[in-house]
Structure 1
């Protein structure tokens, strides 16, 4: 009897030990033989229990991080794919990435599943988000089909109402198409990210786009026909966008952050961006009776949802992009709810190029060609997110950043584990300054907002600039610099520097590294 009891106890012991054993995706920080990269999209998150965070909260934050990590992987894939090959083959495809890569916080990927694990010894929660590429492709093909059907139904209903003289109802139906187009763009972008093989994937997307029964130009023409407001200035354009959003959303009151529109999918602003932001704020207040606010994010208790920073100043964000086309300049605006990051409205317009030439403000930053070259270099061999989470933002947020001469920029960072950080600032004149090097963030600062000690004042040279941040669980190797006017300037060219950062031999098998960038544009007075 005692022998049987000992056997039972041993079996229970080994069963418990097997049950408590770490899964391979925990040991390998999101990598698992059960979810190979060719067949699955995955995201990994981890969060430690600390004094102010209990186990349940830690687990929730780990799962949020895993979802965000997976979505960030999709963004990196999209940004890489929508580079030179897309631009050369089909400019229309490039615009399809605007919503997916610009308003990334609105991106939600359906069909995600989760696995979790809690390590009692480490007091650490782990989460793995995963989805089969085949399953995701099936979901989004179905969504794509439903969105096309909805667009067609709204267009047909609008035509019927217009023929019957019901102009207000017709306008509502036409305007309802714009958010559907943004969702369609995002669905097709996700399909592109899911497919393997860039050239084949782009060819498939071109085939999908050929199936579109309704062109956006038909919607734009119908809306302009009903609004009957000529656009002969930037002020008229701002009025038109504000009016379309007001009619579409029917919001009685709203506190609204208007951000500078950026050029194409580059996230770069311009002198025109700053000017148009001011004009659009004025028209939003006049036409929609919404209250524009200015946002200065200096709180140490900020919460980031996707790329949207929750802040008490604004309930909504109005942002957009503009694209040079043969028939004029196309403006795409999106209206985003801050509380959950969802895109709830959109409007667009095409204005003759000669009208904006009257301003006369450049649509691109002064150093556009050089900055675009750098941006393409950044996208080459960019590492996908690992278990180390790195968030960086400024006192103006993370996107659509335009700083005027004399304005100050403060950067903040947050990580999910002790690590070293390195900040490189790529200036408009081509110099690359080492701002922070091997600064250690210890356990007491993990998952907390940490302000970078120095503030920076906007001054010449003006143009598109990049704040590049690296985090690593081991110290960084030294880089060759030379002191110029109080700054340590890198002596390597960008290609060699990136290769040394991304291709460095790991000191230990479990060394983790993360990278992120902010694009900002500096302009004169």
Structure 2
């Protein structure tokens, strides 16, 4: 081979090597982009791009079992992220609707109570997901997000026509009543009530999404329509001689007409006003209602499945009456039917049936303290429940209370029990959940017996990845009673700011009623 050909061959080899190196670099670059962890997995980056001011968000991350298909597991985590987002909306609605009620001298509260309890009837239009599967670490990540501005725009337009329809339905019911056709007036009133619940739910969500800075243009109109609807019910149903049995019988008839044949129901105790507290009256009413529905062929289930309908309700005082409002929805929150009626509260007083605990004022003030600057759930998913579940809790003297928790991150737990007499007991402090216990049900070691004082009480579970600062306590009757104020406790628990994705915290509460 001559020198010229050798030089040419070397040149060609050099060119080919450059091409090969370029291809290798390109492939490596593509691999790096594909394998790169998305920035939204980091808490700080996620907050910058999807801030609470502009978005509702829900986040979930979890390790998947070796034998499970990661894509199937991802779908389950999407449900968790959506549930987490929905919970954040609930917190926002409760907190800001309470503020709205205070601004309007509690007038609004009477009309949005049921909306707060059933706001999830509203479809969260525009819900989107970001997902990531890390096959090396065998973990999946999901971010569910919803832009508030887009949600507001959609429902502002929708609410205008819905409010007009509500006005027409109320006028129709009023016309029948004025014509002395009470039977048809009741039917049209029920139709108007169902429409009012839909409007009020949307209104509550709009107010929360609007950061609570002002009421929407339809708020005053809705208040007026709700007032007319309530006044019409009082005219139709005096409630003067009505017992709990009578009230349950009337409401059961409307429920049966509004739900599908052969439906299965899970009944929860109604709660008082815009709290989550229940009562002996609520328990007795629910028992009678359950019997009425069972006698008419409705199956009542304790543990609902995906086909079960959920019956929830609220009740509150209106002058000399007690108004009970019930709503039936499916497991996804879609409203199926709703109705309400009244009874004279003197009946309950004469029968010595408690419908509101003596410590209501103090408990309500405490609830407002909790709602102020309430933490929205983020990276850490925290759950708390009792041996009676996690909602509409009612414990009678002598009954046992067991607590169960689950958290998705190694963390320290603190449980504080706010008693009916205002005392605060530190039940558990810096109880550590290690890696082996995450996403598993953990039973709190101690068991508790319901005893005096009786009334509205609250269990607060806090979790964070850093150990809690000490609280000032003194031991009485074998328990650690906290001597600091509720505000000081909140500052201690919610005090540090999140500075990195490693610093996580969450908070959850259970409200319960205890009685003799």
TM-score range, shorter chain: 0.7 to 0.9
Within the alignment, does 1:11 sit opposite 2:26 as a pair? Answer: yes
Contact 1:229/1:240, CA 8 A, preserved across alignment: no
Q: Tell me the CA shift for residue 105 of structure 1.
A: 5.7
Partner of 1:217: 230
Contact 2:91/2:376, CA 8 A, preserved across alignment: yes
Distance in 2 between residues matched to 1:268 and 1:27, nearest whole Å:
37
64-73 or 93-102: which moved more?
93-102
Q: Tell me the CA shift for residue 162 of structure 1.
A: 9.8
Distance in 2 between residues matched to 1:277 and 1:230, nearest whole Å:
21
1:233 to 229, 243, 246: 243
Distance in 2 between residues matched to 1:319 and 1:313, nearest whole Å:
17
Distance in 2 between residues matched to 1:509 and 1:46, nearest whole Å:
13
Contact 1:100/1:107, CA 8 A, preserved across alignment: no
Partner of 1:378: 370
Contact 1:96/1:189, CA 8 A, preserved across alignment: no
Q: Tell me the CA shift for residue 67 of structure 1.
A: 1.5
Partner of 2:416: 424
Partner of 2:78: 63
172-181 or 469-478: which moved more?
172-181
Distance in 2 between residues matched to 1:517 and 1:159, nearest whole Å:
43
Q: Relative to 1, partners in 2 of residues 1:509 and 1:221: Cα closer, same or farther, differing over 3 Å?
A: closer
Superposed, 1:479-490 pairs within 5 Å as: 479-490=471-482
1:290 to 290, 298, 304: 298
Q: Relative to 1, partners in 2 of residues 1:280 and 1:128: Cα closer, same or farther, differing over 3 Å?
A: same
Contact 2:384/2:461, CA 8 A, preserved across alignment: yes
CA deviations 1:302-324 (Å, max 9, x no partner) are xxxxxxxx546993332211122
Distance in 2 between residues matched to 1:163 and 1:369, nearest whole Å:
40
Partner of 1:275: 284
Distance in 2 between residues matched to 1:155 and 1:85, nearest whole Å:
25
Distance in 2 between residues matched to 1:267 and 1:213, nearest whole Å:
22
453-462 or 499-508: which moved more?
499-508
Within the alignment, does 1:447 sit opposite 2:448 as a pair? Answer: no
Distance in 2 between residues matched to 1:486 and 1:47, nearest whole Å:
39
Q: Tell me the CA shift for residue 171 of structure 1.
A: 6.0
Within the alignment, does 1:492 sit opposite 2:492 as a pair? Answer: no
Within the alignment, does 1:329 sit opposite 2:344 as a pair? Answer: no
Unaligned runs of 5+ in 2: 1-15
Partner of 2:12: none
Q: Relative to 1, partners in 2 of residues 1:422 and 1:334: Cα closer, same or farther, differing over 3 Å?
A: same
Within the alignment, does 1:435 sit opposite 2:427 as a pair? Answer: yes
Distance in 2 between residues matched to 1:273 and 1:245, nearest whole Å:
17
Distance in 1 between residues matched to 2:406 and 2:414, nearest whole Å:
13
Q: How many residues align?
A: 501
1:73 to 88, 96, 106: 88
Q: Relative to 1, partners in 2 of residues 1:317 and 1:269: Cα closer, same or farther, differing over 3 Å?
A: same
1:253 to 262, 277, 281: 262
CA deviations 1:242-287 (Å, max 9, x no partner) are 11112222x443443333222101111223223323333333334x
Q: Tell me the CA shift for residue 516 of structure 1.
A: 0.5
Contact 1:152/1:214, CA 8 A, preserved across alignment: no
Distance in 1 between residues matched to 2:492 and 2:328, nearest whole Å:
40
TM superposition score normalised by structure 2? 0.86
Q: Indicate the RMSD between aligned Cα atoms, in angstroms.
A: 3.3
Within the alignment, does 1:410 sit opposite 2:402 as a pair? Answer: yes
Partner of 2:214: 201
Distance in 2 between residues matched to 1:51 and 1:406, nearest whole Å:
46
SS at match of 2:444: strand
Q: Tell me the CA shift for residue 468 of structure 1.
A: 0.6
Contact 2:239/2:321, CA 8 A, preserved across alignment: no
Q: Relative to 1, partners in 2 of residues 1:406 and 1:508: Cα closer, same or farther, differing over 3 Å?
A: same
TM superposition score normalised by structure 1? 0.85
Unaligned runs of 5+ in 1: 296-309
Q: Tell me the CA shift for residue 463 of structure 1.
A: 0.5
CA deviations 1:297-350 (Å, max 9, x no partner) are xxxxxxxxxxxxx5469933322111222473321111233x444432211113
Partner of 1:192: 207
Distance in 1 between residues matched to 2:425 and 2:284, nearest whole Å:
29
Q: Relative to 1, partners in 2 of residues 1:351 and 1:229: Cα closer, same or farther, differing over 3 Å?
A: closer
Q: Relative to 1, partners in 2 of residues 1:166 and 1:506: Cα closer, same or farther, differing over 3 Å?
A: closer
CA deviations 1:477-522 (Å, max 9, x no partner) are 3333322222222222211011011013668662100000010000
Q: Tell me the CA shift for residue 209 of structure 1.
A: 2.3
Superposed, 1:3-402 pairs within 5 Å as: 3-28=18-43, 31-51=46-66, 53-83=68-98, 86-103=101-118, 106=121, 108-151=123-166, 174-196=189-211, 198=212, 200-202=213-215, 204=217, 206-207=219-220, 209=222, 212=225, 215-217=228-230, 220=233, 224=236, 232-249=242-259, 251-286=260-295, 288-292=296-300, 295=302, 311=304, 315-326=308-319, 328-337=321-330, 339-402=331-394
SS at match of 1:361: coil
Contact 2:108/2:223, CA 8 A, preserved across alignment: no
Distance in 2 between residues matched to 1:93 and 1:456, nearest whole Å:
38
Q: Larger C-alpha radius of gyration, 1 or 2?
A: 2
Contact 1:114/1:130, CA 8 A, preserved across alignment: yes
Q: Relative to 1, partners in 2 of residues 1:101 and 1:448: Cα closer, same or farther, differing over 3 Å?
A: farther
SS at match of 2:420: coil
